Amino acid sequence: MIRNGHETAGGAERPGPGGRRPVRVWCDGCYDMVHYGHSNQLRQARAMGDHLIVGVHTDEEISKHKGPPVFTQEERYRMVQAIKWVDEVVPAAPYVTTLETLDKYGCDFCVHGNDITLTVDGRDTYEEVKQAGRYRECKRTQGVSTTDLVGRMLLVTKAHHSSQEMPSEYREYADSFGKGPGGRNPWTGVSQFLQTSQKIIQFASGKEPQPGETVVYVAGAFDLFHIGHVDFLEKVHGLAERPYVIAGLHFDQEVNRYKGKNYPIMNLHERTLSVLACRYVSEVVIGAPYSVTAELLDHFKVDLVCHGKTEIVADRDGSDPYEEPKRRGIFCQISSGNDLTTDLIVQRIIKNRLEYEARNQKKEAKELAFLEAMRQQEVRPEGESDCDF
């Protein structure tokens, strides 16, 4: 079990409000390509209790029931651990949630989104805990899923964000990969996610820098927020005894300028929530200027500016975007120790395209069969039984 440091001195768990026994909540899942939808589920689950434990399935279990995961289990464990609402992570959690699991970790109930999760043979993975009354449901975040993000990545071409027609082979990938709600193809580059101020408030800490804290500024695309980003932010966070890390996120058009192809895969609003959910980030600048200006440094009273070991692309006028912090002597480059990039993730997807397409089709078929079975139960004449005798 991986603990995230929310316990009191001596390892004792914090009591609930009023000194009562803390309510322990269980969540589990694949958490493949962790995105703000996962984070929002965990945020809602944490709000239902005092201590959140998250079980993450192994690569073997996911491959058996759903198909191959994009990320390895070790990467997925660490990504979930970095979400600020998570207190503990349980590696190798069973795919089917049982009362035995809840009791083993002292959890009062489990929480899952209002979507369907089925085993390889089409059974509801939460059937047992539902029947025992130890199941709670939270709202699923609309407009994003791992399947959706995989589909977007399959369309990363040499064309930029423009009205250019995508090559026929990518159109074929998109058409075969699946349709969005109502038959709409979700791989057009237009996100179904609708940002509101309330969503940002729910994810933001709302805390301003305090006296004695070191304000550290980082900037980038943070597209498909992944373990490489987490490793970098963790290193940055560890540079000061009391860090206050501000992440500047560039506009979509700016990211496309220096990244090319169809980047960014996630739009600015999606990237904002993904970064805000990270425990190592205190604040986000939405649509930060590409060049780190004197005005920005003075406004946020920045003590240190950090950048990873990736290439620093010049601004539109050919200038160094870090010229000002370098002039002030507050710039440093940090190695995350992780070579994973958004490009490498896309390469994983394209390399295993057929497997991911098959995974999506199998998932859809199971869900349709499950829903049809539920419908048949609802229309069965009164008194008719499932029993054979």
pLDDT band of 316, cuts 50, 70, 90: very high
Rounded to whole angstroms, how far apart are CA atoms 183 and 242?
50
Contact 356, 67 (CB under 8 A): yes
| pLDDT the model gives residue 366 | 58
Tell me how far CA of residue 185 lies from CA of 182, 225, 315, 358, in angstroms: 9, 24, 35, 17
pLDDT band of 360, cuts 50, 70, 90: low
| pLDDT the model gives residue 137 | 93
Is pLDDT of 150 > 80?
Answer: no
Is pLDDT of 333 > 70?
Answer: yes
Is pLDDT of 187 > 50?
Answer: no
pLDDT in tens, 206-221: 899 999 999 999 999 9
- Topology match between the domains 24-138 and 197-344: yes
Mean pLDDT for the stretch of residues 91-115: 94
Higher pLDDT, 147 or 203: 203
Rounded to whole angstroms, how far apart are CA atoms 311 and 290?
14
Rounded to whole angstroms, how far apart are CA atoms 138 and 48?
10
pLDDT band of 164, cuts 50, 70, 90: very low
Rounded to whole angstroms, how far apart are CA atoms 267 and 286?
11
Is pLDDT of 5 > 80?
Answer: no
| pLDDT the model gives residue 226 | 94
Token pair 């002030």 is found at 328
Is pLDDT of 321 > 70?
Answer: yes
Q: Which amino acid is at 48?
A: M
Is pLDDT of 104 > 70?
Answer: yes
Higher pLDDT, 210 or 19: 210
Higher pLDDT, 210 or 140: 210
CA atoms within 13 A on the CB side of 244: 16
| pLDDT the model gives residue 170 | 39
SS3 sequence of 120-178: CCCCECCHHHHHCCCEEEECCCCCCCHHHHHHHHCCCCCCCCCCCCCCHHHHHHHHHHC
Closest CA to 28 of 120, 121, 113: 113
Tell me how far CA of residue 238 lies from CA of 83, 281, 337, 378, in angstroms: 17, 12, 14, 56
| Domains of the chain by residue range | 24-138, 197-344
Q: What are phi and psi of 172, to 5 degrees?
A: -65, -40
pLDDT in tens, 195-208: 778 888 889 988 99
**β pairing state of 51-56 and 24-29:** parallel
The SS3 call for residue 28 is strand
Mean pLDDT score across all residues of the chain = 81
Mean pLDDT for the stretch of residues 64-87: 92
Contacts 24+ apart (CB under 8 A), 143-148: 143/191, 143/192, 143/193, 143/194, 144/35, 144/36, 144/37, 144/191, 144/192, 144/193, 144/270, 145/37, 146/30, 146/32, 146/33, 146/35, 146/70, 147/178, 147/360, 147/363, 148/180, 148/186, 148/192
The SS3 call for residue 287 is coil
Tell me how far CA of residue 122 lies from CA of 116, 118, 199, 367, 371, in angstroms: 10, 5, 34, 8, 10
Max avg pLDDT among 80-84, 118-122, 141-145:
80-84
pLDDT band of 116, cuts 50, 70, 90: low
User: pLDDT above 90 covers what percent of the chain?
Assistant: 53
Higher pLDDT, 176 or 285: 285
Sheet containing 24-29, strands listed edge to edge, beginning at the edge strand earlier in sequence: 2-3, 88-91, 51-56, 24-29, 109-113, 135-138
Mean pLDDT for the stretch of residues 75-98: 96
| pLDDT the model gives residue 196 | 76
| pLDDT the model gives residue 359 | 60
Is pLDDT of 257 > 70?
Answer: yes
| pLDDT the model gives residue 355 | 67
Terminal Cα-to-Cα distance of the chain (whole angstroms): 46
Q: Which residues pair with 141 in a beta bridge?
A: none
pLDDT in tens, 300-309: 999 999 999 8
| pLDDT the model gives residue 371 | 63
Is pLDDT of 311 > 50?
Answer: yes
DSSP state letters, 39-57: HHHHHHHHHTSSEEEEEE-
Higher pLDDT, 13 or 305: 305
Rounded to whole angstroms, how far apart are CA atoms 141 and 288?
26
Rounded to whole angstroms, how far apart are CA atoms 236 and 323?
20
Rounded to whole angstroms, how far apart are CA atoms 203 and 142?
16
Is pLDDT of 273 > 70?
Answer: yes
Higher pLDDT, 385 or 286: 286
Rounded to whole angstroms, how far apart are CA atoms 102 and 23?
12
Is pLDDT of 298 > 50?
Answer: yes
User: pLDDT above 70 covers what percent of the chain?
Assistant: 74
Superfamily of domain 197-344: HUPs (3.40.50.620)
Domain 24-138 architecture: 3-Layer(aba) Sandwich (3.40)
Max avg pLDDT among 174-183, 220-229, 262-271, 350-359:
220-229
pLDDT band of 8, cuts 50, 70, 90: very low
